[in-house]
Amino acid sequence: MKDLCTASLAELKTYLEEGVASSVDIVRALKAAYQADEKQTTPLHGFIEFFDDAEAQAEKADALRKEGKGADKPLLGLPFAVKDNISIRGKLCTCCSKILDGYRAPYNATVITRLTEAGAIPIGRANMDEFAMGSSTEYSVYGPSHNPVDRALTPGGSSGGSAAVVAGFQVPFALGTETGGSVRLPASYCGIYGLKPTYGAISRYGVVAFGSSLDQVGLFARCVDDVGLGLSVAGGADPHDETSVQYDFSSCAYLQPYADNELKKLRIALPVEFTQAKGLDTDVAVLFEKFRSWFASKGIQVDPVSIPVLESAIAMYYVIALSEAASNLARFDGIRYGLRVDPGKGYDELYCATRSAGFGREVKRRIITGNYVLSHHLSGDCYENALRVRARMEKEVGAVLQHYDFIFCPTAPTPAFKLGERVNDPLAMYLSDLFTTFVNLSHIPALSIPAGKAQDGRPIGMQIVGAKLSEGKILRLAKTLEAERV
């Protein structure tokens, strides 16, 4: 039996079923690892709270199993971490922002309901950039998380805390959210798997909104089987979310790799706008070529493909995302919930004082920019034009994926950067998402996979992108690469 902290979700499930470990054993081991790390000079700081009742929940799971019950609960007694913008009834849900200090969720997000009804145990809240706005987890009111590979590095963002606790062996599986790359980027920087499913594949009900037409719950794990197992439970239609899709993801659990004769039938597109980008790190380019060569050696058709509209993706993304963020965050007014700063002069003054004190610098920057874009004299030139180009992108990317099974490219232009390196350079920070935003804009799924390391040891990820609802195919290719140790 492996150490309980390093075992995968699937392995822990086997240990529980065979009786060689209990859920209490697992939770205690993870809590001990977390507490020991907190005593380090530079802790990971991936968790901002380890739940006090996690062990009690584990005891209930063990009791149920002992009674011979729970056969209908595929995740019985298994732990997971939750990004701090996903609601868990009775737990703090602050989005790592001062403006939601002390706020407790009155209900469960659908993804939490599905996982817990399957027997899974949420063991803690994970750190994030405030309101999911950032690429490094440095915009958290709780302070930054650190990369388990090198604690001077960022784990990425905005779901950096979730990635850090998975990569740092403090939990085998975690939930994140993604608006423009916030699952795949941290997965790449930390050397783990990060899935951004098809838009609507996992319900957004109970997830605090950033950009409603882009937001999607995503999954982190250290192996492909764990991603598939999580998706098989979390995915599917939800009457509380009209954007959710009617699809059965149960077949995504425990997928088999492609056989050699199946590989020869695959076709993969390599977008030259990314694979030949000027800012592409040399180590990233070398690893990309390794994968391209492996695909070719297996008889897979691999073609460079130009999709010119991809060059507009990052600009288009920020116009749309910031406009939607400005609208969504208008609800934080100091009247209904969260922080309230009342100068005693009237509602306008209360609103202004609360938001000035409650939001951090980056969130304010994005709200101001979004409102500016939506202003009467600019909305037609910026926002409406961005929506038109987005429709064109979705059509052109869709056309490529009708001819090819996958799009394959690096997840990010560079490996993880040092904490503090880009925090005062918003443009450099935004460009971290250069290769990821087209996926969100097109509503398609993508999985960041560990691709290897740079010469200095920093992890590098590649992403497998597929057509809508092709998560099964994506996971099978990832499983093949994992099995072949490419």
Catalytically active residues, by annotation: 83, 158, 182
- What's the order of all strands across the beta sheet hosting 193-196? 47-50, 121-126, 79-83, 173-178, 216-221, 193-196, 446-453, 459-465, 406-410, 267-271, 301-305
Kindly give, in sequence order, each residue whose CB lies less than 8 Å from that of residue 117, ignoring residues fewer than 6 positions away: 73
- In the beta sheet, which residues pair with residue 176? 218
> What is the DSSP pairing of strand 173-178 with strand 79-83?
parallel
Cα-based torsion angle of the residue sequence 133, 135, 136, 139 in order, rounded to the nearest 10 degrees: -20
Structure tokens at 256: 């088999």
d(C-alpha 269, C-alpha 163), whole Å: 28
d(C-alpha 113, C-alpha 234), whole Å: 9
* Side-chain half-sphere CA neighbours of 285 within 13 A: 10
Residue 387: left if φ>0, alpha if ψ -120 to 50, beta else—which one?
A: alpha
- In the beta sheet, which residues pair with residue 268? 302, 406
Kindly give, in sequence order, each residue whose CB lies less than 8 Å from that of residue 478, ignoring residues fewer than 6 positions away: 193, 224, 227, 447, 449, 464
Kindly give, in sequence order, each residue whose CB lies less than 8 Å from that of residue 309, ignoring residues fewer than 6 positions away: 389, 392, 393, 396, 397
Element (DSSP H or E) covering residue 269? strand 267-271
Cβ atoms of residues 400 and 407 within 8 Å? yes
Element (DSSP H or E) covering residue 282? helix 282-297
Element (DSSP H or E) covering residue 408? strand 406-410
d(C-alpha 474, C-alpha 268), whole Å: 12
Kindly give, in sequence order, each residue whose CB lies less than 8 Å from that of residue 331, ignoring residues fewer than 6 positions away: none
Query: How many other CB atoms are there within 10 angstroms of residue 460's CB atom?
Result: 24
Query: How many other CB atoms are there within 10 angstroms of residue 327's CB atom?
Result: 16
**Where do we find the tokens 């691999």?**
302
Kindly give, in sequence order, each residue whose CB lies less than 8 Å from that of residue 131, ignoring residues fewer than 6 positions away: 85, 95, 96, 97, 208, 210, 325, 329, 363
- In the beta sheet, which residues pair with residue 270? 304
